[in-house]
């Protein structure tokens, strides 16, 4: 495992990338209402990319021989866990939940962020799922300090999520991030506290809990991208790009964050 620790100057660029990604994602989220298609949301994100003169991290991405990804967003509605493709006929309805994942490159560095939205009037069960996933990410962020281990992060997410009666997806994990969208190390949302690599200043990771209302099992649809819950239960997803610093976590994709201040 070869980890690329970032210098202060590189972190400054990654912060700028994180702020741009956050601004564009916020604009997309403001437009996500009943009757709006996921294709329309993708068009909004494309306009944001053009405005800020950055590059999509998702468009054309084709790891492992997959077909090139056709959108700049991943729009994962209801039972879709991640990698939902924006489509004109995929229209938001009252009561839906939708995970919106977005990544860009700015001056050679990547920022990756996601959130799950509640559309209109959402059932208490779906609202609880979304809030538990959001809180799991916050628990993980708080542990992104020098001296802790990757296993501490995964254990915190898993323990919290399972204590609320939900399950953590194991097939997809978080990741290091920098000049590439996916760098070492992998950052699982499960594991044993006190294990795996220690966190050091300059490490930047994308932490992204994926939480299912039912079982953790995943099924990939015929488009080779869309990942859904095997039991078709609801799923939620949140993600931030986080730098480990001497002062504590710095959430690069959160505008209000500073080193050591969540």
What confidence tier does 262 reach under pLDDT thresholds 50, 70, 90?
low
The string of pLDDT tens digits covering residues 90-129 is 999 999 999 999 999 999 999 999 999 999 999 999 999 9
Structure tokens, 193: 């506290």
Cα distances (Å, whole numbers) of residue 233 to 78, 218, 225, 244, 253: 8, 11, 18, 34, 29
d(CA 42, CA 39): 5
Mean pLDDT on 44-48? 98
Short-list 27, 29, 31, 33, CA closest to 48? 27
Angle between helices 150-163 and 124-142 (to 10 degrees): 160
What's the mean pLDDT in 76-89?
98
Fold classification of 8-251 is Creatine Amidinohydrolase (3.90.230)
pLDDT digits (tens, 9 = 90+) for 146-187: 999 999 999 999 999 999 999 999 999 999 999 999 999 999
The residues, any chain, with a CB within 8 Å of residue 183's CB and separated by 6 or more, are: 3, 4, 175, 176, 177
pLDDT at 228: 98
**Sign of the torsion formed by the C-alpha atoms of 236, 231, 126 and 31:** positive
Question: Each residue of 207-260: pLDDT tens digit?
Answer: 999 999 999 999 999 999 999 999 999 999 999 999 999 999 999 999 998 887
Q: What is the mean pLDDT of the chain?
A: 97
For the record, the structure tokens of 207 come out as: 């932490």
**What is the token pair recorded at 231?**
């039991």
**CA–CA distance, 179 with 196 (Å, rounded to integer):** 23
pLDDT of residue 65: 87
**Rounded CA gap, 116 and 249, in Å?**
22
Q: Is the pLDDT of residue 1 over 90?
A: no
Cα–Cα distance for residue pair 75/101, rounded to 1 Å: 7
d(CA 162, CA 168): 8
Tokens of 167: 């399950």
């Amino acid at each position: 495992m070869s980890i690329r620790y970032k210098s202060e100057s590189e972190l400054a660029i990654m912060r700028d990338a994180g702020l741009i990604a956050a601004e564009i994602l916020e604009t997309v989220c403001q437009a996500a209402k009943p009757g709006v298609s996921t294709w329309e949301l993708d068009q909004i994100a494309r306009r944001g990319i053009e405005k800020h003169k950055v590059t999509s991290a998702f468009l054309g991405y084709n790891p492992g021989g997959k077909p090139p990804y056709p959108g700049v967003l991943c729009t994962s509605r209801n039972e879709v866990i991640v990698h939902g493709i924006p489509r004109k006929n995929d229209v938001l309805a009252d009561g839906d939940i939708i995970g919106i994942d977005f990544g860009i490159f700015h001056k050679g560095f990547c920022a990756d962020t996601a959130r799950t939205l509640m559309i209109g009037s959402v059932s208490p069960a779906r609202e609880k799922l979304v809030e538990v996933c959001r809180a799991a990410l916050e628990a993980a962020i708080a542990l992104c300090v020098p001296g802790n281990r990757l296993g501490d992060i995964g254990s915190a997410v898993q323990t919290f999520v399972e204590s609320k009666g939900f399950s953590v997806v194991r097939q997809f994990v978080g990741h290091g991030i920098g000049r590439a969208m996916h760098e070492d190390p992998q950052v699982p949302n499960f594991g044993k506290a006190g294990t795996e690599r220690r966190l050091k200043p300059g490490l930047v990771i994308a932490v992204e809990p994926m939480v299912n209302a039912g079982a953790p099992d995943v099924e990939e649809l015929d488009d080779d991208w869309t990942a859904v819950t095997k039991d078709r239960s609801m799923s939620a997803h949140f993600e931030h790009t986080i730098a480990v610093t001497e002062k504590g976590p710095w959430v690069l994709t959160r505008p209000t964050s500073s080193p050591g201040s969540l």
